[in-house]
Every structure is written in structure tokens, then in C-alpha cells.
Structure 1
Amino acid sequence: MSTLYIDRKNTRMTVSGNTLIFYENGERASTLPLHIIDRICIKGDLALSAADLGKLGEHNIGVLILSGREQQPTIYLPCARKDALRRLAQAHFSQDNTFCTRQAQSWITEKIQREQDLLRELQTRPHRGGHQLHENLEQLEKSRLRLQNPINDLATLRGIEGSAASSTFAAIACVLPESLHFTKRNRNPPRDPYNVGLSLGYTLLHYAMVRQIHLTGLDPCIGYYHSIEHGRESLACDLIEAMRPLVTAWTIEAFHDRILRPEDFTIQNEACHMGKAARARYYPAFENALKNWQGEMRARCVALLRALGKACFNHPQTRACAEAFLEKEE
């Protein structure tokens, strides 16, 4: 089974028997057998009748419709055959401390290793920090070494991750131009241009991960490192944790390459705002970066599916859910 992605204009899709039929500009263009499709992701100007949507449901084909610049999921119809079982297992193991800490520890370890790689690269650039970057790297290495042994509570992991992030941003402050007025990570609202770029990038990555999670049949709101909180897709927060340094580094380069410029920003009531011209340059450039990261986002979802499937087989209370994880995700 696989996911079908549709992003075309002037296209109509119908279901006839066991076949999906596409029409472009009124002419029949192509067909596809339904039995090879698990889910359909739609983000173009596609015409689809309610009757055909119902037929897809009868064939247990999940449908995800995306909308807006951030391509947020606006309509989600699950793949009834297995999504309920996957989400049941997902919820069960969100209450299993061993499973939660094991997953979280692997994500935080990867994140810190990427932060180390970033700081090593920054050391090769002109900076104002003297030995600051070297000391920050030493702090990151201490954090990484703590993670070599199993850690059994999430609070400790959060402390390690927070300390590593502080060291990373302290080093970045030594490298960024003083005209950006960056001293540390801040948000809600961001108070300097670099933090504005970071917050927007993290948000766009987050919603891209939400889409991937929907396409694997999991619930984006049930996480393992980030607890359930009203209005938050906690699993998406989990799965982008190790990818955040990619956005951190990309945002540095965005200022270096003048995709973003100090003059693009204004301060009002202690909040920093990105101007329209900057947004026009930012969105296409970040979209290109997201395309490069798409494979990793998908791989992280699939890795979690495999971990849940393995855990189901090994736990008597969830063994009945294991069948939902047997089919290979493509």
C-alpha cells in the first residue's frame, strides 16, 4: 500500500468501480487501481464529489486535504482499516514511561549531535566570542555523554536538552552580526530579527510534520516527550526535535545570504515583526529547504511506526493492535 499525492490544477477525480479516474481540462488523463492506494493527500485545485469521497471511504482509503500557505490539514478522513488500531497503540504507549523516555532520549541525542556539528562549523567563521564557542562545544559534549546511559525520567531529559540549547544559542550570539541584536532565544513574541526567523521556521517545519503524521495514521496530538496540551500537536513537537538544528542553521544562512536583512524588521511594543518584502523572499526559500527535509520527516514517522509495532508485539495488552503495523509504509 502507498500514499498518492495530488497537486494539480484543473483536475477532476472520480471513482468508478475499483478504479480512480483523473480528468484534466475535461479530458480523461489517467487511471489508477484503488487496491494499491492506502491514502490520498490533496493540495491542488482538485474537483472531487461527495459521492466519490464516500466511495473512497468504502474502500478504506484515507484522505487528507491541505489548505493555506502553511498547507495545514483542514479535512482528514482516516484509513479505517488500521488507523484506529495505530492510534490505540499510540495512546497506550504514551502512558508507558519506558517507551516515552527511550524515544525521547534518542531524539535529544540526535539533536545535540546536530548542535555540535553546527557549532563546529561556526568555529570556522569570524566571531566575537574568543573561547566562547569552544566552551559551548564542551558543554554540549558533556550533555551528549550524559545521554550515553539510559535516563528514566523525562524531566531530566528536558533539563539536558534545555542546557544544550542554551549553549548553542550562546554560541550563535557570538557569530551573528551585532545589527541583529541577538543575545538569546526568545519567543511569544520574538524580540529580534533572528528569533523571528527561527520562530517562523520552526512553525513551518512543525506543520509539515503534522501532515506527515496524518499520512501515517497516527494522532499528531499524542506525544511521548511533549505531553498532551490543548491546541498543541505534541507528537509533531516530538518528531521535529532532532530537526530543529536544521532550521537554526538555515536561518543563520538566510541572513548571511540576505534572504533576510536587518532592515526588513521593525520593533513595536517590544515585539519584532518581519516586513512584507522579507516574507516574499522567506517563504519560497524555506519551502525549498522543506523539500530537502521531506525524506527525513517521513523516515522519522516510519521509525516511530516500527517502534510502536515492535512494542505491540511485546506487550499482551496491545498485541491485537500489531496487525496495523505489519504493512510496509511507502
Structure 2
Amino acid sequence: MFTHKDIEMRTIFVVNCIEHDRSLRVNSGELMLEEFEGDKKKTLTKFPFQKLLALFIIGHITVTTPLIDKCKKYGVALVVMKPNLRPVFFWANSAEANYLLRKRQFEYSTEDLSIAKCIVYNKMLNQKAALAKTRKKDSYTVDAIKQCDAALVTLPDVDEYNQLMGLEGTVAKTYFSAYYQNQNWRGRHPRMKSDVLNVTLDIGYSILFNFMESFIRMFGFDLYVGVYHRLWFKRKSLVCDLMEPFRCIIDHAALLAFNRKQFSEKDFTLIKQEYHLKYEKCADYYRVFYDELIARKMDIFKFVQQYYRCFMGCKSVKEYPIFEF
């Protein structure tokens, strides 16, 4: 598995092929990134495989046998993603044989809420931080922050699953109402496409989900076995769990984009009472969320790595990672 030395000495290399015609090839044992300019190829950078922790390719590209062979030799995780960051190809040599981790996941009791409460705690903590970053002093924001504080105090005493979900939902309702009070907020309605802001958040959360999945795969987790979200057909419950503390990144990016007029209701069409983002605007929306998440790629990797170590080591919840927004 990946160590602290790997993080210090190696990097996650992201190749953006969404807007540029680029190619990767192996030359003299190094990774070469090239870009087509007319009939010519221009070398953008060279990178030794020894310095690579993972190679993320976003967009359409050809992956060659020598590239996969070098990634295998040097233990580089290779992830190829669509423009919406959905992984279409994943390979990591170190993750394939980690049966002990998957055994531990299936043995974990659904009655144990300790890790689930840690995840919800981190989510509420970041919701409070996001509200504080707005610097608003109106009654909605002040009340929402107070409710976050009260919930954080109450959380350790929660001992029932439905009670935990209820507490999270109550805080989220107040948080969204205060955070998007100037955006004509009418409630969170996932996948219903009832208004522009909800559709935008759905897009952002989907991109976050796909990005998080790539990191979780690097450690060999069974994506369908979570600690908070329960087993459900085709639902990657663990990804749903670990993305919770990072949702604030998407919330903040969406708020800033609407305030700066990067996002607008004009970018959507209304079809049968459902809002749909215009095709020509998809790249602009993807780019806003993509830039925010790529800037946090090492934070996300370290979070998943620390979660893996704590989970495998059956450590106290006090040692589980906390992402600070």
C-alpha cells in the first residue's frame, strides 16, 4: 500500500485531454506528454515513472501496452476518466490482492455507528465552515451555524441509525436554506431537476463521486460496502460515505459561480417541467468543478489513505481523518 514516503516523493499526475488533442508515450523509460499542433507533435513535459504515484487521464486518449507495462513495473495507479470524471478504466497493481481489506469490510457490524458518526461529524463541521466563509450575519446564517454547533454536541450520544440520519438531514435542510438564501432556494431535490441550482449541485456531486471513486479504488476497497450508507443494489455505498465531508467543495464552487455569473439560468432548457443543462455549456460547468477538485487531489488522497489505515488497524474513531474545509 501507499506510504507517507510515496506522498512526499511521488505525485499524482493529471492529464487534461478535454480541450486539447494530446497523447502519452514512453520514451527512454520516461513518460512523455505530447500535444498535436497541426501535423506536428509538441512535447509538453517528460516525467520519470519513479516520481509518479498515480496517473489520471481525463478525456479521450489512446493507452498503449508499453504505458501499462511501465505503470505495472513502478506501481503507478492508472485511471482513465470521461470529461465528467467518471472512471472508464482503472488499474492498480497493489489493490488487486487486498482480500483482507474486503474481508474486514464484510465483517464490520452494521450496528456499529462509530465510523458513520465520524463521517457525519466531519460533514457538519465543514457545513459550519462553509457558512462562516460567507461572512454573513443575517438570522438565517447565524441560526444555521448555531444548529450545526448543537448537532455536533448531540452527535456523540446518538445510538440509532435512523436518529443519525434524521440529525444529518435536519442540519442539511437548515444549512442549504441559509447558504443559498439569495439563490431562490426551494429545498434539496436530488435528481428531480426541479430547478437550476439543484441540477447544478447534482452535476457537481456526480463529478465529486466519480473523482472520489478513483482514489478509493487505489486501495482495493469493495466500493459497495459502506459504513453509513447501507447495502443497496448497484449503489457504491462506500463512495457515498467518503464523499460526504467533501460536498462543501461543490457547494462553495456552485455558490461562487452563480455569484460571479459563470453559471446562469440561461444555460438551461426547460423540457417537460425538468431543467436540463445545454450541451454546449457542459464543458464550462465541468471545468469549474474539475478545477476545484484537482486542487484538492492530495487532500482527498491523504484522507482515503488515512481512512484505509484506521479501518484496517481497527483504530479508535479519534484517529480517523478529518478533512477541514
* TM exceeding 0.5: yes
Give, in angstroms, the shift of residue 61 of structure 1. 4.3
Q: TM-score, normalised by structure 1?
A: 0.74
CA distance in 1, matches of 2:203, 2:140: 27
Give, in angstroms, the shift of residue 161 of structure 1. 0.6
Letter of the structure 2 residue corresponding to residue 117 of structure 1: A
Give the 3-state SS of the residue equivalent to 2:276 in structure 1.
strand
Give, in angstroms, the shift of residue 5 of structure 1. 4.0
CA distance in 1, matches of 2:52, 2:264: 45
The answer to which of 75-84 and 238-247 deviates more is 75-84
Name the residue aligned to 2:290.
287
Q: TM-score, normalised by structure 2?
A: 0.75
User: 1:85 aligned to 2:99?
Assistant: yes
Letter of the structure 1 residue corresponding to residue 99 of structure 2: L
Name the residue aligned to 2:178.
171
CA distance in 2, matches of 1:6, 1:195: 29
Give, in angstroms, the shift of residue 192 of structure 1. 1.0
CA distance in 2, matches of 1:53, 1:203: 28
User: 1:155 aligned to 2:162?
Assistant: yes
Aligned length: 294
Give, in angstroms, the shift of residue 261 of structure 1. 1.3
CA distance in 1, matches of 2:70, 2:268: 50
CA distance in 2, matches of 1:112, 1:75: 33
CA distance in 2, matches of 1:112, 1:217: 28
Mark the runs of 5 or more structure 2 residues left unpaired by the alignment.
Answer: 17-21, 35-40, 317-325
Give the 3-state SS of the residue equivalent to 1:64 in structure 2.
strand
CA RMSD of aligned residues (A): 3.4
Q: 2:268·2:277 contact (CA, 8 Å) conserved in 1?
A: yes
Letter of the structure 1 residue corresponding to residue 86 of structure 2: Q
Cα deviation digits, residues 142-178 of structure 1 (max 9, x gap): 211111x2533332221111111011122235x3244
Give, in angstroms, the shift of residue 185 of structure 1. 0.7
Q: 1:258 to 1:32 in 2, by over 3 A?
A: closer
User: 1:245 aligned to 2:248?
Assistant: yes
Give, in angstroms, the shift of residue 111 of structure 1. 1.3
User: 1:192 aligned to 2:195?
Assistant: yes
The answer to which of 248-257 and 267-276 deviates more is 267-276
Cα deviation digits, residues 205-232 of structure 1 (max 9, x gap): 1100001111222232221111222222
Give, in angstroms, the shift of residue 137 of structure 1. 2.9
Cα deviation digits, residues 254-277 of structure 1 (max 9, x gap): 100111112222322221122245
Letter of the structure 2 residue corresponding to residue 186 of structure 1: H
Give the 3-state SS of the residue equivalent to 2:210 in structure 1.
helix
Letter of the structure 2 residue corresponding to residue 48 of structure 1: T
Cα deviation digits, residues 103-133 of structure 1 (max 9, x gap): 21111112112222233344627x7xxx333
Q: 1:61·1:80 contact (CA, 8 Å) conserved in 2?
A: yes
Name the residue aligned to 2:120.
108
Give, in angstroms, the shift of residue 52 of structure 1. 7.3
Q: 2:212·2:243 contact (CA, 8 Å) conserved in 1?
A: yes
Q: 1:78 to 1:89 in 2, by over 3 A?
A: farther
Cα deviation digits, residues 33-75 of structure 1 (max 9, x gap): 77x87766555735422x8757866x69475331311232223
Give the 3-state SS of the residue equivalent to 2:308 in structure 1.
helix
Map 1:116-127 to 2 at 5 A.
Answer: 116-122=128-134, 124=136
Give the 3-state SS of the residue equivalent to 1:266 in structure 2.
strand
Mark the runs of 5 or more structure 1 residues left unpaired by the alignment.
Answer: 314-330
Identity over aligned residues, as a percent? 19
Q: 1:70·1:204 contact (CA, 8 Å) conserved in 2?
A: yes
Letter of the structure 2 residue corresponding to residue 161 of structure 1: E
Give, in angstroms, the shift of residue 286 of structure 1. 1.7
Q: Based on CA coordinates, which of the two structures has the bigger radius of gyration?
A: 1
1:308 aligned to which of 299, 308, 311 = 311
CA distance in 1, matches of 2:253, 2:119: 20
Name the residue aligned to 2:320.
none
Give the 3-state SS of the residue equivalent to 1:311 in structure 2.
coil
Q: 1:259·1:278 contact (CA, 8 Å) conserved in 2?
A: no
CA distance in 2, matches of 1:52, 1:273: 38
CA distance in 1, matches of 2:246, 2:105: 24
Give, in angstroms, the shift of residue 201 of structure 1. 0.6
Q: 1:170·1:184 contact (CA, 8 Å) conserved in 2?
A: yes
Q: 2:95·2:219 contact (CA, 8 Å) conserved in 1?
A: no
Name the residue aligned to 2:26.
13
Q: 1:209 to 1:86 in 2, by over 3 A?
A: farther
Give, in angstroms, the shift of residue 189 of structure 1. 1.8
Name the residue aligned to 1:137.
145
Q: 1:220·1:233 contact (CA, 8 Å) conserved in 2?
A: yes
Name the residue aligned to 1:71.
85
